[in-house]
Structures are given as C-alpha cells and as structure tokens.
Amino acid sequence: MHEVEATPDENTEVEKSLAKQPQHASAGCAKVACRRMRQAFKQKLIDIVPALQGRVYDVQPPSQTAEEPYAVMALGEEIWKSSWAGYRQVVRIKLYAGQAGLAQADVWASALIAGLHREPVTGEGEDTSAFTAHYLGVRDAEKLDTVTGKAYRTLRFGVYVPETEGSPAAAPANGVAQPDEWLAALTRWTQKQLGETWSVYADAWPAQPGRHAVLWRLSGCETRMAGASMYELRKRFIGHVIAPDTAEENRAASVLVEGFGAQIQLPLDQEKGRYMSTAEASADLQADAILDGQLRLTLVQRRMRPAEEAALIRRVEIHPILK
C-alpha cells in the first residue's frame, strides 16, 4: 500500500501549520460530513468525465493491475484557517489516463477544474448538502507512481468547513438579528445595496453560503477624543465578497465602496435619529475572498460624554479685602 503523494516541502508546511493551529472541541470534518463529501466528489467527477464511471477509487486502486483509465481520490490535510472560515479540507485527485497518455489526462484535468472550481458539489438522493470546491493548484502536476510505474496527473481542491455549522452568527442577516448593533445595521444596508439575489452574513461563513454572498466581520474598535464633552467611537470591519467568477466579485465590491462614499451616514436607528458615518472605505480586489476579504471599512459615531456627578454649591460668600 502506498500513501497519497506529498513532497517533503508540503509535509513540512502541513506539520508546521498543524502545530500552530489551536485545539477545538469539534473536529473540522466530522465522519458523516467527510463521507458525504467523498461521495459527492466521486459523483461529480463521473458527471464531468463519463469515462471514469465505476473507476474512481479511494486512496489507491484495488490492485496494481487495475485497468486504466481510472482516478484515485483521497482526503488530504485538514487545517484550521480562521474563526470565520473554519477548517480547509484538501481533496486530492490523481488521473491515470493509461494508453491515452498524459495529454488526455490534461484534457480531463481542465474539464474538472472548470466544472469544480467555485462550483457547488451536491450529494444525491436525500442528501442535498452542498460543498463549494476551490482549486488550489499543485506543485508537481505530473508524476510517476513508483509502485505501479504509471504516470498520472494530480489536482488539489479545497473545501472550507465551518467549525460550528448552523450557528446563529452564521445565519443570513435577514433571518436572525446579529449580536453587534453596528454589524446588524451594516448587513441590512449591504442587502439593500446589492439586492435579494445576494446573501449577506455576519461574523462567520455558514456551512453552505449562497453563490453570491457577502460576509462582514468586526475586526477592531477604538475611541478618540473629540473635545471636552464628546468622543468618537470607531469600529473597523472587513468584508468578504464571493461570486461564481472574479468579475462579479469585483463589481459587487466596487458597488459597495461607491455606496459608502455616496451615502456618508448609514442608519443605525432611524426612528431615534441615530446614524454612523463612513470614515474610510477601500477594496483590495487581489485579496483572497474567503480567508482575507477584499473590503476594509471604518465607521464612526460621535457620542456625548456622560456628565460627571459633582457636589452642588450651596452658598458663596464674598469677603472684600479692606485696606
């Protein structure tokens, strides 16, 4: 039996990452979720490449003399990424094209990347859960199996698995009130700007985010003195925008940044006349949409300093100085 390929550099990187990641009560990919993910990926591979029907194996083929073409799929490293993205489960796929050669494997690889990258991978039957795959690339795309002597083409995909699926913090903004008042107002404003075709979340990604989705999370806050009787409360937010393609993500990010500039004050509680102002809004369109977020936003609200209690003056006596 031979293990799934991994270069020494990959092993070292994974070991360092695993050593740094915190310990969590719940595992990233529970056994049931991993089983669903495995079956859903197998079916998707067959749908995209019909020649692999009945020839997608786990970890390794049943025998070294297995008839080609076939594919081998294995779950790779599972690494904690962040509190808002959860774990990233890597899925490795090896394509053995046999006599058709690596040129045919390249054709299948291109089809799989186009059919899986940023696309939902859904289970069959009663299992309607979906996993969104992200193509991660690979160091050595073509390799020679030292055990069988066969050449194969490698693909790596990643699936983000939230630490706590179905948590209230990961619910859509229009479904459950958010714990932070400013964050709730920001998600409502974003939903109004982008429309109902977009889903807006707060704090963390849910298990199955919409294909067009925005996540806002609070990244920091501070106060600044604004005079003897007033102070400024500033909160910094990071926004993540995901869509089926980069062009849609960039358009949505641009619309939001322009909206912050056009509408300087965002409603916090219109009935009570409470608003928050935009101090700074920017977008880095090269940032990772899932892990880093493209949007940076600073909101400000001026507040009156509470009056301090002091002893009352009961009487004032004036004693003139006589010469």
Which domains, and CATH codes, for the chain?
Answer: 8-161 (3.30.2000.30), 168-304 (3.30.2000.10)
Give the Cα separation of 314 and 204 in Å (integer).
Answer: 57
Q: How confident is the model at residue 268 (pLDDT cuts 50, 70, 90)?
A: confident
For the ranges 19-28, 61-70, 79-88, 149-158, the lowest mean pLDDT is seen at 19-28
* pLDDT, mean of residues 297-304: 90
- pLDDT tens-place string over residues 105-118: 999 999 999 999 98
Q: Does the structure show a pLDDT above 70 at 80?
A: yes
**Residue 57 clears pLDDT 80, i.e. is over it:** yes
Q: Calculate the average pLDDT of the chain.
A: 82
DSSP 118: T
What is the structure's pLDDT at 276?
92
> Tokens at residue 44, please?
């998707």
Select from 176, 158, 173, 162 the least CA-distant residue to 208: 162
Per-residue pLDDT, 180? 87
Are 175 and 166 spatial neighbours (Cβ–Cβ below 8 Å)?
no
Query: CA-CA distances (angstroms) from residue 177 to 76, 169, 170, 180?
Result: 37, 9, 11, 9
Give the residue from 226, 198, 245, 191 showing the smallest Cα distance to 301.
Answer: 226
Q: Is the pLDDT of residue 6 over 50?
A: no
User: How far apart are alpha carbons 12 and 265 in whole angstroms?
Assistant: 49
Residues 264 and 287: their CA atoms lie apart, in Å, by 25
Distance CA 94, CA 274 (A): 57
Q: Which of 69-73, 107-111, 158-162, 318-322 has the lowest mean pLDDT?
A: 318-322
Residue 53 has pLDDT above 90, yes or no: yes
> Are residues 242 and 117 in contact, defined by beta-carbon separation less than 8 angstroms?
no
Instruction: Give me the residues paired with residue 26 across strands.
Output: none
Q: How confident is the model over 241-266, as pLDDT tens digits? A: 999 989 999 999 999 999 999 988 89
Neighbours of 8 (CB within 10 A): 7
pLDDT at 228: 73
Confidence (pLDDT) at 323: 60
Q: What backbone phi and psi angles, to 5 degrees, belong to 271?
A: -65, -35
